[in-house]
Chain A
Amino acid sequence: MSWINLGALWKIVVFGIIAGAGLPALFAAGLYSLSQGPRTARVAGADGGGDSDVLIGGSVIGMVLAAIAFLIILAAIGWGIYEIYQIGHPAPAKK
């Protein structure tokens, strides 16, 4: 038994970066591709770019890419929860 479980530590750091920073970045990329395209990516804003702006699909390709990004995120979350459930319910009375 060691004081620091390095095996666990690097996993927490690496998966932490992938899930904790990577997934939101993917979400941002999805928002970005939603905003691209010939149709102006805003519906509201009489002030032309104010706080009431809302994103809408700018182009078909952009929307498809965004949908893919959002689906990957949802899948990753679902898979993560499933894994946690698996690992978190070990056969009783061990450790």
Chain B
Amino acid sequence: MLVLVVITALAFDFTNGFHDTGNAMATSIATGALGPRTAVAISGALNFVGAFLSLAVAATIASGLVNTGKVTLTVVAAGLAGGIIWNLVTWLFGIPSSSSHALIGGVIGATMAAAGGSAVLWHGLVSKVIIPAALSPVIAGLVAALGTWLLYRISRSLTAGARGHGFRIGQIGSACMVSLAHGTNDAQKTMGVITLALIANGTLAKGSNAPVWVIVCCALAISLGTYIGGWRVIRTLGKGLVEIEAPQGMAAESASAAIILLSSNFGYSLSTTHVATGSIIGSGLGKRGAEVRWNVAGRMATAWLFTLPSAALVGAGAYALAASVGHTFGVIVVLVVLAALAGYIFYRSRGNKVDHNNVNAEWTGTVAPADAPAETAAA
């Protein structure tokens, strides 16, 4: 049972990695600073390192959100199923939604289904998750807008080619920092959940930190996921929101990295996705004449609002299913359903493939480039 839960958690971590590659690398890939394959390889490696850097966020997830006394392994498994399903669905549509909220939503939904609303620590949820979620994109956007403005101002005497070259080098550095930051924040979430499972199982005492083997496994899973690369999300972020130039990319990434690292420090499990999106929009606002595609941004924001409750619903549903069948066997049933859904989603995604070959194709209003059969256009 415990083994099943840990595997599911690592599967979530994997989807988390490939869903979020875009946050770090979308702008570098869009401006040509890094080749798509190099970008995901570097990002994967740095995610691995970042996972070891800080454990503050894991502590929030493991003990700050739900009453650990009420959590059983079934709850954790159902919560994870909710998170994975939501991640895969948003990935199919190329929407950079928050993997963190998917996970937290799933766990909370399953906890409520199992033990009622009183088992959720609402204060921790609001002060450490919801409020940071609302504020962080705004702060990141402001910092990125300011940075973009400064960069263009200082470098305006340089020729366009020289400026592009210089900032592309800078962008590699800032993108690496975002990947590192992603490891310090997102890899932590899965560690937190596995720790939660270990506490639920009685393996660990309440309030423990994540053990080393958990850290290593999570770091591996997230960097593998990152390396596989979520090309669909990369495309939306890099091409869909704003047409990005190298200085904007660098400003956006620096802002994201700074905000994420600082927040990780305070144990805020904020969404790297929200921060990166805020920054990219900010970099569009900071440059005169740049166009921000607000309809794409609006669609994302809608997805953000839905992420917590939808993942909670799926989590609660998964728990109900597991509980009605009986615990250990129930979890297996949930996992089989999950695997079937994942397979279906991968099958759907083949219809309009986005990979490292066409990730930078001209934005035509849909995730799938124009030369691919436009299946998501109707969706």
Contact = CB atoms under 8 A, between A and B. Distances in A.
Instruction: Say whether chain A's binding surface is mostly helix, strand, loop, or mixed.
Output: helix
Contacts of B63: 95
B155 A28 contact: yes
Interface string A52-91: 1111000000000000000000000100110111011110
A49 to B, nearest CB: 4
A24 B161 contact: no
6 closest residue pairs by CB, A with B = A88-B54, A53-B161, A20-B258, A21-B147, A20-B255, A19-B258
A21 B159 CA distance: 22
Contacts of A89: 54-55
Given A32-B155, A52-B161, A94-B207, 4 more contacts: A8-B268, A20-B256, A27-B250, A93-B207
Interface in B43-68: 53-56, 59, 63-64
Contacts of B266: 5, 8, 11-12
A92 B259 contact: no
Contacts of A34: 166
Interface residues of A, number: 52
14 contacts: A13-B139, A16-B143, A19-B254, A27-B167, A28-B167, A31-B170, A32-B155, A45-B161, A49-B160, A55-B166, A84-B265, A89-B55, A94-B207, A95-B63
A39 to B, nearest CB: 13
A56 B268 CA distance: 43
Interface string B164-192: 11110010011001001000100000000
Given A84-B184, A95-B207, A31 B150 contact: no
A59 to B, nearest CB: 15
A81 B99 CA distance: 24
Given A17-B146, A21-B255, A53 B263 contact: no
